[in-house]
Amino acid sequence: MGNLAAVLMAGGLGTRMRSSVPKHFHPLLGRTMVDWIVAAAREAGADPLVVVASAATRDRFDGGDLLVSVQERPLGTGDAVRSARDALAGYEGDVLILSGDTPMLTGELLVELVDAHRRDGADATILSAEPPDPRLYGRIVRNADGSVARVVEGTDATDEEQRIREINSSIYVFRSQALWPALERLEPKNVQGELYLTDAIELVVRGGGRVHAHVAPDYREADGVNTRVELAHAAAVLRDRINERHMLAGVTIVDPQTTWIEPTVELEPDSVVHPFTILRGATRVETGAEVGANTVAVDAHIGAYATIGPFCYLRPGTVLGESSKAGTFVEIKNSRIGDRTKVPHLSYIGDAEIGEDTNIGAGAITANFSHYPGRPKGRTTIGSNVRTAIHNSFVAPVTIGDGAWIGAGSVITKDVPADALAVARARQENKEGYAARQRRS
């Protein structure tokens, strides 16, 4: 969608969150709240995109492709948008105005809003909604022809106006030629000297401009988040959206309400995800793979027809080959597990390369000595067709050749040749009658 800029208001602290973290930076499924709105604006084609931050939060937006303007003092929404004017100097076109606390907003709805704005030839268009409980949101008062006459704040509304179901979401699109003159004419209406965008709407109407409202089909998209209760509600809505998208694309999610999948995760058709699973970051699950209950995977690659969990933790850098297995109470980090290789249960595999068709016995640990200051991490290399036993430790750097066997309880500190049997443990000694003598003494 061409010739569309956006201004995102993200300068408030959100005191009702009862947090030292500014409201807009609370996490939601792998993104901050404000990142969800940025993603929606980008999806709608907004460019440039100006974030209005406070002096305290300005640095949090450095390093990206966003333009940043600073609202020096919190003087209301009208002042916040006015702070972005210099960043949009010379721009002529439509300007989306977004609030940084509406993470359920979608790019699709913003496209609908801008399309309606342009189709109606409006100077400004409000995104409105009709929630079951309008609470103290501003009400949209319409003229007989359906155009907007004014927006009345919920606290100022008469009894008749409070019965209006249509509310103002504080999301707008303006023609820039109508926006900036209206903002310049704003005057404070309280002792704090705050300036409000709703007054800009009234100024456009008084000047003979056309203001319309586009009703969101799903009122939740326009809902703001001000408390941790509302944050949890938004997270559930986003979770359900993501899970529905995957299920419609051919993924089996056994219990969507207990499955949390971040938006960057990729799931191929005919993969299966069991309850109480968390998939995060750049995790990818290929066709036919089955992720067991209570599994957590972060930036992991799960190969086709692999079997994971239950109660498995795949940390960043984990790559599981085709038809491999990472079983119950297994943790794997920064390791590559070959095709058809099995790590069935009760093992920690870190900084390792394991070949194909290998079986890792229960209780295996690969130790990389990362806790020694100044010493680089070593890697454990275990070849193909290797059979390790229970309670083996591998002290990196160490290499186990193809086809080798490892004796139970062995701590392996030296390389093991291919097809060899390695036993590294003290010989058992039985002292006859020792326990009985101790009991008599």
Mention the CATH class of domain 228-422. mainly beta
* pLDDT for the residue 148: 95
Distance CA 120, CA 138 (A): 23
Local structure of 59: helix, strand or coil? helix
Distance CA 241, CA 243 (A): 6
Q: Which residues pair with 29 in a beta bridge?
A: none
* pLDDT for the residue 374: 62
Judged against a pLDDT cut of 90, whether residue 353 lies above it is answered with yes
* pLDDT for the residue 11: 80
Q: Among 3-17, 21-35, 217-231, where is mean pLDDT lowest?
A: 3-17
The DSSP line for 118-165 is: HHHT-SEEEEEE--S--TTPPEEEE-TTS-EEEEE-TTT--HHHHT--
Q: What is the mean pLDDT of residues 319-331?
A: 98
Q: Can you say whether residue 298 is alpha, beta or left, with left for phi > 0 and alpha for psi between -120 and 50 degrees?
A: beta
Judged against a pLDDT cut of 80, whether residue 298 lies above it is answered with yes
Judged against a pLDDT cut of 80, whether residue 69 lies above it is answered with yes
Judged against a pLDDT cut of 90, whether residue 341 lies above it is answered with yes
* pLDDT for the residue 23: 87
CB atoms within 10 A of CB 301: 19
* pLDDT for the residue 247: 98
Q: Among 58-72, 99-113, 154-168, 293-307, where is mean pLDDT lowest?
A: 58-72
Percentage of the chain beyond pLDDT 70 is: 97
Q: What is the mean pLDDT of residues 219-238?
A: 95
Mean pLDDT of the chain, nearest integer: 93
Q: Which residues pair with 31 in a beta bridge?
A: 28
Strand order of the sheet with strand 365-367?
Answer: 260-261, 278-280, 296-298, 312-314, 330-333, 348-350, 365-367, 393-395, 411-412
Judged against a pLDDT cut of 60, whether residue 370 lies above it is answered with no
* Token duo for residue 414: 């030296």
* pLDDT for the residue 156: 81
Contact in structure between 95 and 211 (CB atoms under 8 Å)? no
Distance CA 123, CA 131 (A): 26
Res. 441 pLDDT band, cuts 50 70 90: confident
* pLDDT for the residue 373: 61
Judged against a pLDDT cut of 90, whether residue 258 lies above it is answered with yes
Distance CA 236, CA 256 (A): 10
Residue at 348: amino acid letter: Y
Judged against a pLDDT cut of 80, whether residue 191 lies above it is answered with no
In the numeric block, the tokens 């100006």 are attached to 50
Q: CA–CA distance from 113 to each of 243, 250, 340 (Å)? A: 26, 31, 51
Tens-place pLDDT, residues 152-167: 987 788 888 889 999 9
* pLDDT for the residue 59: 84
Q: CA–CA distance from 315 to each of 254, 318, 330, 363, 366 (Å)? A: 23, 6, 11, 18, 15
* pLDDT for the residue 255: 98
Q: What is the mean pLDDT of residues 174-196?
A: 90
Judged against a pLDDT cut of 70, whether residue 115 lies above it is answered with yes
Q: Where are the domains of the chain?
A: 4-222, 228-422
CATH of 4-222, one of 3.40.50.1820, 3.30.365.10, 3.90.550.10, 3.30.2350.10: 3.90.550.10
Contact in structure between 355 and 343 (CB atoms under 8 Å)? no
Judged against a pLDDT cut of 80, whether residue 55 lies above it is answered with yes
Distance CA 343, CA 337 (A): 9
Q: Which residues pair with 326 in a beta bridge?
A: 308, 343
Contact in structure between 103 and 28 (CB atoms under 8 Å)? yes
* pLDDT for the residue 371: 53
Catalytic residues: 345
Judged against a pLDDT cut of 90, whether residue 99 lies above it is answered with yes
Q: What is the mean pLDDT of residues 18-39?
A: 92
